C-alpha cells in the first residue's frame, strides 16, 4: 500500500523536469556597405582609399575594394533604421572574401 501511494505521489505531484537542450548558435552575420564619406574624401583629395566596409561581430570594420560573397545574401534598404549611417547594405551568413 505504501509503495502504491509513493508511486502515485511521484507521478502526479512531482513530474520529472523536461530536458532542456541548448539551441545551436546562429552564425555571425556579416554586413557589407559602401562608405560614402570615403568616396567624397577620395574625390576631394584625389586619393584611392578602399570604400567598401565589411562588418562582422567577430572582427572590427575592414575596408576593401572588392568583396566576394561565397553563398547566399540579401540586400536590405532601411531608411528609418540605418546601420552606422548606411541605409542600404548587404547581409550574409556565409563567408565573405575581401579583395584589397
Q: How confident is the model at residue 100 (pLDDT cuts 50, 70, 90)?
A: confident
Q: What is the pTM of this model?
A: 0.68
Average pLDDT over the chain reads: 83
Cα 82 from Cα 32, distance rounded (Å): 13
User: Has residue 36 got a pLDDT over 70?
Assistant: yes
**Domain ranges across the chain:** 28-99
Range of lowest pLDDT (18-27, 33-42, 57-66): 18-27
Q: Which of 99, 85, 89 is nearest to 37 (CA)?
A: 85
pLDDT at position 6: 56
- What proportion of the chain, given as a percentage, has pLDDT over 70? 79
- Which residue reads 547581409 in cell numbers? 91
Task: Tell me which DSSP letter residue 84 carries.
Answer: T
Q: What is the pLDDT of residues 61-96, one digit of tens each?
A: 899 999 999 999 999 999 898 887 889 999 999 989
Cα 94 from Cα 78, distance rounded (Å): 22
Amino acid at each position: 500500500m505504501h509503495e502504491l501511494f509513493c508511486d502515485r505521489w511521484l507521478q502526479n505531484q512531482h513530474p520529472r523536469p523536461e530536458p532542456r537542450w541548448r539551441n545551436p548558435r546562429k552564425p555571425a552575420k556579416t554586413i557589407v556597405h559602401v562608405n560614402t564619406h570615403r568616396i567624397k574624401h577620395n574625390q576631394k583629395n584625389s586619393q584611392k582609399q578602399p570604400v567598401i566596409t565589411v562588418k562582422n561581430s567577430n572582427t572590427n570594420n575592414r575596408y576593401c575594394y572588392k568583396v566576394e560573397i561565397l553563398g547566399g545574401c540579401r540586400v536590405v534598404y532601411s531608411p528609418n533604421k540605418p546601420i552606422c549611417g548606411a541605409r542600404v547594405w548587404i547581409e550574409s551568413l556565409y563567408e565573405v572574401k575581401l579583395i584589397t
